[in-house]
């Protein structure tokens, strides 16, 4: 599970990369420019008092709450931002991140799907959808999402690795070995970087299925 600081950073990064938010007003600058934490929280509360209908201020305040370990308060701010603007990518993405931290995986999945429906260009949303489905035991659906990432980014070793893990968990060991083989072609050091769980899965699949040729997947043209 991601750390609080990483979660806050992702919420802020998402906001920065998605310019559909309401154009910022001069009064909002202290909130939007402050570091996540107490200073940001206080600045955003002051800005919201003057501009209560600005969704971006609520997502920014949520990031400060996350950095301070206040997940419930962060979620409340993100949900408020969604009520103000149901098409707010940052708020749905942030809500998914916080809910995943709280282990409310089904609710997180709903928000990640809403975020992707708003903007399918961010691959991290598809990864979170896949991971949530995997956590919920929806392995076939999770595999399809991991595969979509590989089709979109066929030279990304991490995407291949997750597809291999997903295949191994379904007992599709020959496929898994072929996917890991492709992972290692793209990054020869991946085996050394594997977490113990993934390394054990790789070794078990290799023992069951034996060596396999490296997998290939044609790049997708329009995949979420």
The distance of Cα 217 from the centroid of its chain, to the nearest Å, equals: 23
Cα distances from 121 to residues 91, 107, 118, 147, in angstroms, run 16, 22, 9, 16
Domain with CATH 1.25.40.10 in the chain: 1-136
* pLDDT given for residue 18 in this prediction: 46
pLDDT of 29? 54
Q: Rounded to whole angstroms, how far apart are CA atoms 210 and 45?
A: 59
List, in order, residues 6 or more apart from 77 with CB less than 8 Å away: 58, 59, 61, 62, 65
Contacts of 109 (CB under 8 A, 6+ apart): 96, 129, 132, 133, 136
Spell out where 37-175 has E strands. Answer: none
pLDDT at 202: 97
Look up the CATH superfamily of 1-136. Tetratricopeptide repeat domain (1.25.40.10)
- For the domain made up of 141-224, the CATH class stated in words is mainly alpha
The structure's pTM equals 0.82
Which of 110, 112, 130 has its CA nearest to residue 120? Answer: 112
pLDDT at position 66 is: 87
Mean pLDDT split into 10-residue runs, the chain, 224 residues:
51 45 43 66 83 88 88 95 95 95 97 97 95 97 97 94 97 98 96 93 97 85 50
Residue 143 pLDDT? 98
Contact 78, 110 (CB under 8 A): no
């Amino acid at each position: 599970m991601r750390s609080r600081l990483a979660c806050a950073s992702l919420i802020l990064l998402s906001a920065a990369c998605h310019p559909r938010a309401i154009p910022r007003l001069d009064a909002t600058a202290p909130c939007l420019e402050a570091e996540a934490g107490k200073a940001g929280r206080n600045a955003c509360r002051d800005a919201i008092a003057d501009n209560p209908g600005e969704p971006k201020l609520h997502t920014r305040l949520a990031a400060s709450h996350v950095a301070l370990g206040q997940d419930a308060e962060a979620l409340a701010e993100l949900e408020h931002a969604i009520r103000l603007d149901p098409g707010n990518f940052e708020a749905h993405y942030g809500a998914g991140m916080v809910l995943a931290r709280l282990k409310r995986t089904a609710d997180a999945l709903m928000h990640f799907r809403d975020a992707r429906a708003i903007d399918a260009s961010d691959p991290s949303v598809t990864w979170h959808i896949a991971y949530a489905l995997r956590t919920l035991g929806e392995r076939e659906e999770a595999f399809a999402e991991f595969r979509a990432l590989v089709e979109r980014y066929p030279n990304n070793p991490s995407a291949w690795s997750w597809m291999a893990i997903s295949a191994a968990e379904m007992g599709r060991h020959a496929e898994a070995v072929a996917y890991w083989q492709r992972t290692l072609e793209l990054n020869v050091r991946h085996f050394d970087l594997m977490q113990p769980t993934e390394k054990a899965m790789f070794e078990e699949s290799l023992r069951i299925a034996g060596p396999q040729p490296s997998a290939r997947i044609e790049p997708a043209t329009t995949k979420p």
